Structure 1
C-alpha cells in the first residue's frame, strides 16, 4: 500500500490493544478509507457491511429503511448467519449481528467493519439508537471486539459519533482523519503503478486531482498528463464527468446549497467572509449556514482562516479542493464533452494563468514541507493569505499569496511562481515586491522582520534583483516528506 504508513501502524496498534475499541475513520470521498481498512486488516475482518448509497434514481423515502435492512441481512447471511427472518428494525438487526459474532468467538480479536455508516442513518430509521445499544450494552464489554466505522459524510461522523452528546458521548476510542496524498505520496503512487511522469507534471496533476488516489488510479500508462486529463474529464465517455455532482449528492443532505457555496468560493482565490457569502448567495445568516460551512471544512473542501492583520470577524472561507476548483473553472463551462480540450490548449494563456493560481493552492496544502524547507518545523506559526483592496483615494490594492507569521519574530512573505524554468526577478516585479514589503512592515510588530520567500519550481536566477528573496524553496522541497 502506497503511503498511509502512520495510519496503518496506528490501526495495528489499536488492533493489539487487548480491549474493546470503537474507531471512526473519516475523510473526503475517494480518499481511500475503505482501501486502508481492507489492506490493513486483510483476512482479519470478521464481519463487514457497507451502506447503500442514497443516490439512486426512483428511490422513495418510504422504502429506504427497508432496503438498508434487507442489505444488512444479506451481509449477515453471506458471513455465516444461519438463514432466518429478515430484521424489521435496526435494534433487531444489531441483535442478529451480536448473535453472529458470539457464534464465531474463539477468543481472538473480532473486527467489525461498517463502511459508509452515515448512509445507514436514514430519516426516522432509529439507526443511531440501535447502534448505541449495540455498543453500550454489548460490544464495549467484550475485549475482543474492534468496531471500525467509515464514512464520507464527515459532518455526520463528527456530529453523531465523535462529538455526540447523547448515548455515544465519549464512546469513540480513536478517530482517524484520512488526508489526500502529498506530492511525495503521489510520486510513490505513480511509481508503484509503473507510470512514467515528471515531477513537474505530478505537480500539475495535483492542481487538477488534488492528491486523491481514486482519481490518480485511472491514469493510463503510455499517455501524457494532458491525454489522461482529456480521457478522464473532457471526452464523451470521461470516467469522472459526473464525479463533481456525485461528491455532493453522496456526501451531503443538502447538495444544492453546498454546491452553491463551493461555486461562490471558487470565484475568488482568497475566499469570502461569512457576511459576503450571505450577501452574494442571498441566504439567511443562520445556524444552517454554520452547519454547511462546518461540513465543507470537515470534508476538506474548504478551510477557514483569518487574513493577516485582521480580527476573527473577518474570517475567510477558502476553497482548497483542487478537483472542485478545476471542474468549476474548466469542465462546468463546457456544454458538450465530446472532444479533447486539454491537449490543444495546454500552452494557452488561459491555462498558463490558471497554473499560477493553482500552484498557490498546492503550496497551501504543503505548509509542512514549506516549514521544513525554511528550517522552522518546530516553530509555532500561523499562515494565511493577505490582500488590500483599492481604496477611495485611488491607492492601488495589493496581495500577498502566503504569509507565515512566526513566533521567532519573522514573517515570511511568500510568492509562489510556477515556471518551466528558473524564475527571474525583473525591475517591475522588484518594485512590486518592495512596495508589498514596505506595506507589510507597517503592519507587523516592531520586533519582527519580513523575509522575502520564493516558492517556485526550479529555483531563482541570480541577477541584481535576486536578493529580494532571502529564502528560495523549490519543487524538490515540496516533494519531501
Structure 2
C-alpha cells in the first residue's frame, strides 16, 4: 500500500473494518474530487473481490452492462449476458463472493448514487442482498462511496426502510487541512513557504485533485495563472461540471451559490429567496441542505439568535474565486493573475478568503489559544443598532466565562493597528457588550499572516496573536 497523506482518522476506521471479525458495511461520502476513491483503493491496495463504479446520466440498462463487464473481470466463470435487473446482479455478486478464496472479501461500489437510477429498484435490491446474505457473511467488507452526499445520507445512512441502521461505519471525507495540504505538496516535491500555500488554498481549498495540478518550481501566482486562467486550466471550466455532477437541476443550486458569492458575510434565508427568486418552501430547504451537506455552504446562527435568524455563507474557496475572477473573465495565459493583484477586487477577496480559511481551521485556532479542552460555541454577530454595520465574523463563547473575539487580517507583512483601527475595534467590542448584555470578559485575538506590529495602539488591546504557523498546527 502506498503512503497516504493525512487521513489518519479515516485510515484508523478502515483498519478497524479490515481487522473486524464481522461483516462490515462502510459508507464513504464527501464532495467531488476530495479523494474518496483514492482513499479506499490505496488503503486496500485495490485488492477487491469486486469493484464497480456508477456512471453519470445513464439508465439502468447501461449500469447493468457495466456490472456485467466488471463482474467478468473478477471471475473464471463469466456471465453469459448482463443481468436483467439489480436483484439478478446482486444474486450473481453473492455467488462471486462465496466462490472467492480471499480471506477478506472487500467489495467496493463507487459512485453509488449514480447506480440508483429512476425505477431501477437499486436500493431494494441492495437491501435484500445485505439483509439476506451480506450481514451474516463475516468475511465481507462492503464499501460504498458517493459524491452526492445528500443522497448518501438520506437514502442510505438515514434510510427508514430495510437498510435502517445497517451501515456499520461511516466516513465523511473532508478537504485537506493546511497541514495536510503542505504534506501533500511536499510529497510531490513542491516546496513553498506557508504564505504561498495559503494563497493557493484560498483558491483551491484542500481538494487533492486540484492540488495535484501544482508543479514544482512555481509560485502561487504562477499556479493560479496556469490552473485557473490558461486555456486548458483545470479550474477554468470545472465549475458547472462540479455542480451538475452532484445535483439534479443544478441551476437552482448554482443560483444560490452565485447569490452568496455577492456578500462575504452571508445572507439570510429571506435574502436568498429574494435574490434567487426560488419559492420559499420545502424545495428551497432541500436545496440549502444539499449544498451544506456537500460542503459548499455553511449555516451560521448569530450569537444569541435562534435558528430562524441563521446566515448562510459560501465556504467553498473555488466557487467564491470562480465568481469573483474566472466567470466572465477574458483573461488568459501568463500573468493574468499577477495583473489582478493590485486591484480593489483582489484586496476585498483576499481579506474574505483568508477569513474563510481561518473559519475552516477553528480547531487550530482553539489549540493556539490554549482552549482545546474547554467547551466552546462559535458564532458570528451583527449589530442591530449601529449605522456602520458593526459585525464580528468569529467569536468563541467559552465555558470559562470568556468570549474571544477574533479579527482575521490578511497582509504581506506585519499587520499594523493604527489609531483609527484601534478605536474601531474598541467601539466594536463595546457595542457587542452593550447589545448582547453579556457579563463575560472579552478577549481580542488577532489572526494574521505575519503577526501584529508592536505599537502603542496594539498594546493592551490585543490579548492573543495568532500567525500562519498556528493555522498549520
- Which band: TM-score by shorter chain? over 0.9
Cα distance in structure 1, aligned partners of 2:306 and 2:200: 35
Q: Hey, what does 2:455 align to over in structure 1?
A: 463
TM-score, normalised to structure 2's length?
A: 0.96
Whether the aligned pair in 2 keeps the contact of 1:235 and 1:340 (CA below 8 Å) is no
- Report the alpha carbon displacement of residue 349 of structure 1 after superposing the two structures with TM: 3.4
After the TM superposition, which segments of 4 or more aligned residues of structure 1 sit over 3 Å from their partners?
A: 335-340, 443-447
Q: Hey, what does 1:209 align to over in structure 2?
A: 204
Whether the aligned pair in 1 keeps the contact of 2:302 and 2:309 (CA below 8 Å) is yes
Q: Give yes or no for the alignment of 1:426 onto 2:429.
A: no
Whether the aligned pair in 2 keeps the contact of 1:118 and 1:156 (CA below 8 Å) is yes
Q: Which runs of 5+ in 1 are unaligned?
A: none
Deviation larger for 199-208 or 220-229: 220-229
- Report the alpha carbon displacement of residue 388 of structure 1 after superposing the two structures with TM: 2.7
Among residues 73, 89, 96, which one is paired with 1:93 in the alignment? 89
Equivalent residue runs for 1:315-334 within 5 Å: 315-334=310-329
Q: Give yes or no for the alignment of 1:237 onto 2:229.
A: no
Deviation larger for 436-445 or 381-390: 381-390
Cα distance in structure 2, aligned partners of 1:167 and 1:253: 25
- Report the alpha carbon displacement of residue 290 of structure 1 after superposing the two structures with TM: 1.4
Secondary structure of residue in 1 paired with 2:245:
helix
Among residues 212, 220, 234, which one is paired with 1:225 in the alignment? 220
- Report the alpha carbon displacement of residue 385 of structure 1 after superposing the two structures with TM: 2.2
Q: Give yes or no for the alignment of 1:475 onto 2:468.
A: yes
Whether the aligned pair in 1 keeps the contact of 2:204 and 2:317 (CA below 8 Å) is yes
Q: Hey, what does 2:173 align to over in structure 1?
A: 178
Q: Give yes or no for the alignment of 1:376 onto 2:371.
A: yes
Among residues 19, 36, 40, which one is paired with 1:37 in the alignment? 40
Whether the aligned pair in 2 keeps the contact of 1:417 and 1:454 (CA below 8 Å) is yes
C-alpha distance after superposition, 1:126-145 (max 9, x if no partner): 11111111111111110111
C-alpha distance after superposition, 1:417-457 (max 9, x if no partner): 11111111110001101100101111345530111110001
Q: Give yes or no for the alignment of 1:401 onto 2:393.
A: yes
- Report the alpha carbon displacement of residue 337 of structure 1 after superposing the two structures with TM: 4.4
Deviation larger for 208-217 or 404-413: 404-413
Whether the aligned pair in 2 keeps the contact of 1:441 and 1:449 (CA below 8 Å) is no
Q: Hey, what does 1:11 align to over in structure 2?
A: 14
Cα distance in structure 2, aligned partners of 1:407 and 1:336: 50
- Report the alpha carbon displacement of residue 386 of structure 1 after superposing the two structures with TM: 1.9
Secondary structure of residue in 2 paired with 1:352:
helix
Cα distance in structure 2, aligned partners of 1:27 and 1:360: 23
- Report the alpha carbon displacement of residue 22 of structure 1 after superposing the two structures with TM: 0.4
Cα distance in structure 2, aligned partners of 1:67 and 1:140: 28
Q: Give yes or no for the alignment of 1:75 onto 2:70.
A: yes
CA RMSD of aligned residues (A): 1.5
Change (3 A) 1:397 1:336: closer
- Report the alpha carbon displacement of residue 210 of structure 1 after superposing the two structures with TM: 0.6
Whether the aligned pair in 2 keeps the contact of 1:113 and 1:149 (CA below 8 Å) is yes
Cα distance in structure 2, aligned partners of 1:446 and 1:278: 33
Q: Give yes or no for the alignment of 1:410 onto 2:402.
A: yes
Equivalent residue runs for 1:55-204 within 5 Å: 64-80=59-75, 81-106=77-102, 108-204=103-199
Cα distance in structure 2, aligned partners of 1:101 and 1:453: 57
